[in-house]
């Protein structure tokens, strides 16, 4: 039985990961800035009759709160085996529409939220001599994704952070993986730029995204891919198959990948 922490666990990918963990018998701390949502998820998971779940309010932009929660879990259970730094926010819009508030929010949650999780978990795992940190990035961290470059920039940074840390941690018993999914049908896509100035891609962006990528993956299928990748200690967990094909295409011909992205921009701008 593993002890796991999942951030952003009240919905979407985080909820699916927590569900898959409990279904196999693990103990999971479901955290989210939405404390009520996290509690509802934990309560439901405890009806599965396998693993266990508790919930906690957590704002991943608060480094002190993240550190305190991780230390508390270690104190309560004696160890932390799995950490899923998953909380994130969707930021969209053309570059000329973006304010510094868009950039700051993306960096604070999508990047610094992961940094805070790593900073809290890594020393604990080094001390206990084992553990696995799993950071949620995006296919946007591997390919050129326009009309949301603050999101793209932070996800590229999470990939770089994860692979660099994996190299450092490899000889010390700690594993690191980074998850890079294509578009997943989660609340994130239905609430782009929450509380921020509106742009071309604010609010429910699923219709616009469908013009560029008509195939949406489910969080439940992705959770299966993630746990399989963690069990195999994969450095990069890229899913589904069309995401791996896109990643391969970028590596083979980066210029062509940018041209394909430009075509997607044109489709969204034209409204077709």
The pLDDT score that the predictor gives to residue 272 is 52
Cα distance between residue 36 and residue 47, in whole Å: 17
Strand, helix or coil for residue 179: strand
| Three-class SS of 64-101 | HHHHHHHHHHHHHHCCCCEEEECCCCCCCCCHHHCCHH
Q: What would the pLDDT profile of 45-58 be if each residue is shown by its tens digit?
A: 999 989 999 999 99
Provide CB contacts within 8 A for 218, sequence distance 6+: 16, 184, 185
In the predicted structure, residue 15 carries a pLDDT above the cut 80: yes
Dump the DSSP string for 185-223. Answer: -SGGGGSBSTTS---TT-B--HHHHHHH----B-HHHHH
Q: Which of 59, 73, 58 is nearest to 27 (CA)?
A: 73
Q: What would the pLDDT profile of 160-178 be if each residue is shown by its tens digit?
A: 999 999 999 999 999 999 9
The pLDDT score that the predictor gives to residue 209 is 65
Which alpha helices (DSSP H) does the chain contain, by range? 12-23, 35-45, 63-77, 100-106, 112-128, 149-169, 206-212, 219-231, 241-252, 254-270
HSE-CB of 111 using CA atoms within 13 angstroms = 19
Cα distance between residue 250 and residue 246, in whole Å: 6
**Catalytic machinery residues:** 151
Cα distance between residue 169 and residue 175, in whole Å: 6
205 — pLDDT class (breaks 50, 70, 90): confident
Virtual torsion, Cα 157, 178, 57, 10, nearest 10 deg: 120
In the predicted structure, residue 105 carries a pLDDT above the cut 90: yes
55 φ/ψ angles, rounded to the nearest 5 degrees: -130, 160
Contact yes or no for 95/152 (Cβ under 8 A): no
**What is the pLDDT averaged over residues 169-193?**
92
In the predicted structure, residue 100 carries a pLDDT above the cut 60: yes
Q: Is the peptide bond before 240 cis (omega within 30 degrees of 0)?
A: yes
Q: What mean pLDDT is reported for the chain?
A: 93
In angstroms, how far is the first alpha carbon of the chain from the final one? 50
In the predicted structure, residue 107 carries a pLDDT above the cut 80: yes
Q: What would the pLDDT profile of 244-262 be if each residue is shown by its tens digit?
A: 999 999 999 999 889 888 8
Options 3.40.50.720, 2.40.110.20, 3.10.580.10, 3.30.2320.80; CATH of 3-270: 3.40.50.720
65 — pLDDT class (breaks 50, 70, 90): very high
210 — pLDDT class (breaks 50, 70, 90): low
Contact yes or no for 158/181 (Cβ under 8 A): no
The pLDDT score that the predictor gives to residue 54 is 98
The pLDDT score that the predictor gives to residue 150 is 97
Per-domain residue ranges of the chain: 3-270
Judged by average pLDDT, the poorest of 148-157, 210-219, 232-241 is 210-219
CB atoms within 10 A of CB 259: 11
The pLDDT score that the predictor gives to residue 206 is 73
Q: Which of 229, 211, 210 is nearest to 135 (CA)?
A: 229
pTM above 0.85, yes or no: yes
Residue of higher predicted confidence among 271 and 253: 253
* CA distance readout (Å), 106 to 134, 145, 151, 217, 253: 19, 15, 6, 23, 28
Q: What would the pLDDT profile of 213-227 be if each residue is shown by its tens digit?
A: 557 899 999 999 999
HSE-CB of 5 using CA atoms within 13 angstroms = 34
């Amino acid at each position: 039985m593993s002890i796991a922490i999942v951030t952003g666990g009240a919905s979407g990918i985080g909820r699916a990961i927590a569900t898959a963990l409990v279904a196999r018998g693990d103990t999971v701390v479901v955290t989210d800035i939405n404390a009520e949502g996290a509690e509802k998820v934990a309560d439901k998971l405890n009806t599965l009759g396998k693993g266990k779940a508790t919930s906690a309010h957590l704002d991943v932009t608060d480094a002190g709160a993240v550190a305190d929660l991780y230390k508390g879990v270690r104190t309560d259970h004696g160890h932390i085996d799995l950490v899923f730094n998953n909380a994130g926010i969707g930021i969209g819009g053309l570059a000329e529409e973006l304010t510094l508030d868009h950039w700051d929010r993306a960096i604070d949650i999508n990047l610094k939220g992961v940094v805070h999780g790593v900073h809290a978990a890594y020393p604990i795992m080094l001390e206990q001599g084992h553990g696995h940190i799993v950071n949620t990035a995006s296919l946007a961290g591997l390919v050129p994704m326009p009309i949301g470059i603050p999101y793209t920039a932070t996800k590229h940074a999470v990939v770089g952070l994860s692979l660099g840390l994996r190299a450092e941690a490899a000889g010390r018993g700690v594993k690191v993986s980074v998850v890079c999914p294509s578009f997943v049908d989660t609340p994130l896509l239905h609430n782009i730029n929450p509380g921020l100035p509106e742009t071309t891609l604010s609010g429910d962006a699923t219709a616009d995204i469908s013009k560029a990528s008509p195939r949406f993956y489910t969080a439940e299928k992705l959770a299966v891919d993630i746990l399989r990748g963690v069990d195999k200690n994969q450095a990069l967990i890229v899913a589904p198959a069309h995401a791996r094909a896109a990643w391969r295409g970028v590596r083979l011909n980066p210029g062509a990948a940018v041209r394909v992205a430009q075509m997607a921009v044109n489709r969204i701008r034209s409204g077709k």
